[in-house]
Amino acid sequence: MMKNENLVHYIYGIADNALILGQRLSELCGHGPSLETDIALTNMALDLLGQTRSYYQYAAQLLGDGKTEDDIAYLRIERQYKNVLLVEQPNKHFGYVITRQFFYDVFHLLLLQELQNSKDETLSAIAKKGIKEVSYHQRFSSDWMKRLGDGTEESRKKTQEAINDLWKFTDELFHMTEDDKQVFEAEIGVDVTTLKQLYNQRVKEVLEEATLTIPEIKWFQKGGKQGIHSEHMGYLLSDLQYMQRTYPNMKW
The predicted structure's pLDDT at residue 16: 98
d(CA 191, CA 197): 13
Q: Domains in the chain, start-ordered, CATH in brackets? A: 4-213+230-246 (1.20.1260.10)
Task: Kindly write down the DSSP assignment for every residue of 91-147, as one continuous string.
Answer: --SHHHHHHHHHHHHHHHHHHHHHHTT-SSHHHHHHHHHHHHHHHHHHHHHHHHHHH
pTM: 0.95
pLDDT band of 246, cuts 50, 70, 90: confident
Distances (CA, A) of 180 to 81, 89, 221: 15, 23, 19
Q: pLDDT tens digit string along 190-228?
A: 999 999 999 999 999 999 999 999 999 889 999 999 999
Q: pLDDT tens digit string along 149-196?
A: 999 999 999 999 999 999 999 999 999 999 999 999 999 999 999 999
Distances (CA, A) of 138 to 30, 118, 177: 22, 22, 26
Task: Kindly write down the DSSP assignment for every residue of 21-72, as one continuous string.
Answer: HHHHHHTTTT-SSSHHHHHHHHHHHHHHHHHHHHHHHHHHHHH-SS--HHHH
Backbone φ/ψ region at 68: left (φ over 0), alpha (ψ -120 to 50), beta: beta
d(CA 102, CA 99): 5
Distances (CA, A) of 164 to 170, 196, 200, 203, 220: 11, 19, 15, 14, 12
Comparing C-alpha atoms, which of 170, 9, 7 is closest to residue 84? 170
**Which range (6-15, 27-36, 74-83) has the least confidence?**
27-36
At residue 135, does pLDDT exceed 90? Answer: yes
Is the Cα torsion angle 183, 187, 188, 191 positive or negative in sign? positive
Determine what percent of the chain is predicted with pLDDT higher than 70. 98
d(CA 169, CA 113): 22
